[in-house]
């Protein structure tokens, strides 16, 4: 099936996709603030430019969109057009993400991935559940983890 938009319209739509200060990031920022945690935003000096840095806890939080970072959940659907291009793009994003987590871990940081599906969509977690899982991971000071629609687990 061909794209329903011209290349100019598609290009304009893709440029409009935000890389920072997304609704999910704002929601997570509010949860961290409610927990009384102090954080910095998108430090360019750290690998991957993490979304949230909690220096006091040596913790980093990335908010990943399920499509762009290849999470296999109900929010991810590989496009039917230019499938090889999109598969390559998503695969390279996954490899880059993995490399950033390894670099941060080697530098003494703990990394948490918060997936879009945990915060939006039909299987999202309740706000209270996300907040308690965030607090649990941050305060436990254990290894890397991720939160998705299924809950929290170690990476």
pTM of the predicted model as reported, rounded to 2 decimal places: 0.85
| Structural domain includes residue 93 | yes
Q: Are 120 and 24 in contact (CB under 8 A)?
A: yes
Domain total in the chain: 1
Check which CATH number belongs to the domain holding 71 and give it.
3.40.960.10
Residue numbers of the domain that contains 73: 20-154
| Structural domain includes residue 5 | no
Q: Is the pLDDT of residue 13 over 60?
A: no
pLDDT for res 90: 95
Determine phi and psi for 107, rounding to 5 degrees. Answer: -90, 5
| Structural domain includes residue 95 | yes
Distance from C-alpha of 43 to C-alpha of 29, rounded to nearest angstrom: 15
Residue 58, both tokens = 């040596």
Q: Are 24 and 118 in contact (CB under 8 A)?
A: no
Share of the chain above pLDDT 70, in %: 88
On the CB side of 93, how many CA atoms lie within 13 Å of its CA? 14
41-62 residue pLDDT tens? 989 999 999 999 999 999 999 9
81-124 residue pLDDT tens? 889 999 999 999 999 999 999 999 999 999 999 999 999 988 89
């Amino acid at each position: 099936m061909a794209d329903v938009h011209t290349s100019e319209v598609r290009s304009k739509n893709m440029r409009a996709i935000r890389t920072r200060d997304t609704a999910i990031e704002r929601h997570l920022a509010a949860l961290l603030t409610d927990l009384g945690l102090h954080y910095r935003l998108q430090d360019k000096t750290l690998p991957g430019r993490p979304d949230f840095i909690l220096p006091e806890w040596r913790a980093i939080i990335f908010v990943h969109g399920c499509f762009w970072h290849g999470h296999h959940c109900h929010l991810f659907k590989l496009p039917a057009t230019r499938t090889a291009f999109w598969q390559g793009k998503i695969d390279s994003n996954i490899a880059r993400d993995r490399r950033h987590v390894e670099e941060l871990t080697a530098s003494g940081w703990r990394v948490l991935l918060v997936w879009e599906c945990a915060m939006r969509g039909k299987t999202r977690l309740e706000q209270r559940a996300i907040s308690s899982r965030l607090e649990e991971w941050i305060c436990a000071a254990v290894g890397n983890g991720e939160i998705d629609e299924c809950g929290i687990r170690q990476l």
